[in-house]
Amino acid sequence: MTHLSELSTRPQPDSETVGASIEFRNVGYRYPSGLHAIDGLDLSIAGGQSIGIVGPSGCGKSTVLSLIAGLREAQVGDVLVRPDQSGRHLLSMVFQKDTVLPWLTVEQNVRLHYSFKKGSGERRRGLSRRAIDQRIRELIAMVHLEGFEKAYPYQLSGGMRRRVAVLTSVAAFPQILLLDEPFSAIDEPSRVAIHQDVFDIVRELGITTVLVTHDLAEAASMCDQVYIMGPRPTSVFSKHEIPFGPERDMMTLRERADFLELYSRLWRDLHLQIDASHESESTRDDAEGSH
Ligand SMILES: Nc1ncnc2c1ncn2[C@@H]1O[C@H](COP(=O)(O)OP(=O)(O)OP(=O)(O)O)[C@@H](O)[C@H]1O
């Protein structure tokens, strides 16, 4: 990929561009229906760090993201999102479903989101139309879509559309990026290539990233910490430090013995929680059946 350090768009990294920090303190959340989704959840994410959230199906992972995004409010405990000092756009989200606008080309989609960049006012600050065009081109090059600027989303493969979706979400240079199973619908080789792009982009831009996924290898390769969640109402079952550092080659990482060893530790915990989730579901069914 093209490194931002080679680009004129590179935001000036300084102590202020580190991304927002996020903390959950003993958080509990119930849906208005009464369904208890989260109970006693503690999480701590430093600015610029990437964490992965993995757990049994339906345990409450997406609910955690909606609390960070402020779409829902916890009834118990505190969700603290502390912006950095940069004044950057606070938060962007990428979902599993396509969020690319189908009536705009790749370049127009990226330009639209770039225009959301907080405090940019770049035309007003005297940046010429040509310079902005150059920045848009550079952003597109970051995800290897040169030559597809004028293509519409329907003319792209699933993997390419995902690249555009991720690119639009980082074009506004957010402090936080929330990813909700964003790559699950794409084939494995494309997925690993996109992991590399996203990993490099969020590192370079200093974006705090929270990734919800069912793919343990994805979490282990892209994150600094992985949290394995327990059954609903969910809380953290175990937290794992990922030791692979800021320079990672996604293609070869999966072949390494230390990666496979970590993967098997993660899997062991996830397996336990999947079993626990089945047990608590059958207990719930029994309790409901006895009424
Ligand atoms: N708006 C809602 N009202 C009531 N219950 C909801 C609502 N949204 C989700 N739920 C329920 O809350 C629980 C947690 O949902 P959530 O989507 O957070 O789980 P998840 O771990 O992300 O699921 P999955 O692994 O299947 O993507 C589930 O039982 C779900 O059915």
CATH for 83: 3.40.50.300
Please choose from 33, 36, 62 the residue to mutate so as to test ligand 1's pocket, defined by most ligand atoms within 8 A of CB: 62
Cα(77)–Cα(57) distance, rounded to whole angstroms? Answer: 24
Nearest to 26 by CA among 38, 10, 14, 11: 38
Count how many domains the chain has.
Answer: 1
Say if residue 13's pLDDT is above 50.
Answer: no
pLDDT score recorded for residue 177 = 95
- pLDDT for res 1: 36
Q: At what angle do helices 158-171 and 129-142 cross, to 10 degrees?
A: 130
C-beta neighbour count of 226 within 10 angstroms: 27
Pocket test for ligand 1, best of 27, 33, 35 (most atoms within 8 A of CB): 35
User: Is the beta carbon of 111 within 6 A of some atom in ligand 1?
Assistant: no
Residue 214 Cα to ligand 1 midpoint, Å, equals: 14
Binning pLDDT at 50, 70 and 90, where does residue 290 land?
A: low
For residue 181, the 8-state DSSP code is: S
Task: For strands 21-30 and 76-82, give the pairing.
Answer: antiparallel
Q: How many whole angstroms from 31 Cα to the centroid of ligand 1?
A: 9
> pTM for this structure?
0.88
What are the tens digits of pLDDT across the range 137-169?
888 888 888 999 999 999 998 888 888 988 888
Residue 9 has pLDDT above 50, yes or no: no
- ipTM entry: 0.98
Is the pLDDT score of 229 beyond 80? yes
- pLDDT greater than 50 at residue 210: yes
Pocket lining: 72 vs ligand 1, CB cutoff 6 Å: no
Separation of CA 70 and ligand 1 centre (Å):
16
Averaged pLDDT for residues 280-289? 71
Q: Residue 6's pLDDT is what?
A: 38
C-alpha angle 223-5-112 in degrees, rounded to nearest 5: 80
Average pLDDT, whole number, for the chain? 87
Report helix, strand or coil for 269. Answer: helix
Domain region containing 21: 4-289
Confidence of residue 5 (pLDDT cuts 50, 70, 90): very low
**Pure H helices in the chain:** 61-68, 106-114, 129-142, 158-171, 188-205, 216-222, 250-253, 257-289
pLDDT of residue 201: 86
- Give residue for tokens 């899997």: 267
